[in-house]
Amino acid sequence: KRSHLQIKIAGVKRMFMWHFLNKPLGLILVSEFPKSGGSWFCNMLSEATNVPFPRNVSPKFSKSVMHGHFLYHKNFNKVVCVMRDGRDIMVSAYFHFLFEHNINPSFSVKIWRDRLPFEDYNDIEKNLPEFIRYMFTKYKFGGKYVSWSKFVHDYNENPNCHIVKYEDLLKAPEDELQKTIDFLGLPIVNPEKLAKIVENYSFKKLTNRKPGEEDTKSFIRKGIAGDWKNKFSLEAKKTFAEYAGDELIAMGYEKDNSWVK
């Protein structure tokens, strides 16, 4: 596992490459709010385009698929944004940040638990409203406040951006990969090759579990859409709607606010 310092240094380098070297190096930029499925998508896109994806390592100054959690900036060339229902993100992020697993070291869990000192971390239904509030008002990435609603405002209907929905990736991954490749102006990929890549990165192949079978000790916890319905109390619904009810509608996840009841 990398040290805290190594992770910080790699993060600064990655931020610099995103903002200043994306055009000279021909980087393929893929942004997401954390826990939207971006790493999974980048792995498949990397294989489909034969462009390296430096994940959880310090990136080299060469053409690569660059994954990040950045809000839009005018310096970005074409950028792909992986979007997911923000309610599912809250559940996924809760388990990701507050529990140790295969890529989340104990020092990181301690930092998060110091920020959110809950009585019982396993009581997600009780804790979610406060966690949601934190994620919309105090969560920072790269020294900046970011939130799911800000990602929607920055990337939705942005002509320089292609949106890939996590839910569409689950249903038709080959189609979503091909649409992205078209957007990037890269050569069409053989459908058989795409099908093989999708199979190799299926939830079952990566985890030896069926989608929906939970493992809280894994980075890939559950692999489904709609899990928020199992965890959100009425208070959690109201809290989320307060911060991002309009954005849920803008992204097509709801038609109105009638889900809050």
Strand ranges, E, within 59-117: 65-68, 79-83
Is 213 within 8 Å of 222 (Cβ atoms)?
A: yes
The yes-or-no verdict on residue 219 having pLDDT over 60 is no
pLDDT tens figures, 114-171: 999 999 999 999 999 999 999 999 999 888 999 999 999 999 999 999 999 999 999 9
Residue with tokens 């294989």: 47
Q: What is the DSSP string of 226-256?
A: -THHHH--HHHHHHHHHHHHHHHHHTTS-SS
Task: Identify the pLDDT of residue 4.
Answer: 78
Q: What is the DSSP string of 122-179?
A: T-HHHHHHHHHHHHHHT-EETTEE--HHHHHHHHTT-TTEEEEEHHHHHH-HHHHHHH
- The model carries a pTM of 0.91
- How far is 21 from 25, CA to CA, in rounded Å? 6
- pLDDT category of residue 222 using cuts at 50, 70 and 90: low
Total residue length of the chain? 261
- How far is 80 from 57, CA to CA, in rounded Å? 21
Domains and their CATH numbers in the chain:
4-85+149-204 (3.40.50.300), 86-141+209-250 (no CATH)
Higher pLDDT, 241 or 200: 241
pLDDT tens figures, 2-28: 777 888 898 899 999 999 999 999 999
- How far is 41 from 201, CA to CA, in rounded Å? 9
Question: Which 8-state DSSP code applies to residue 58?
Answer: P
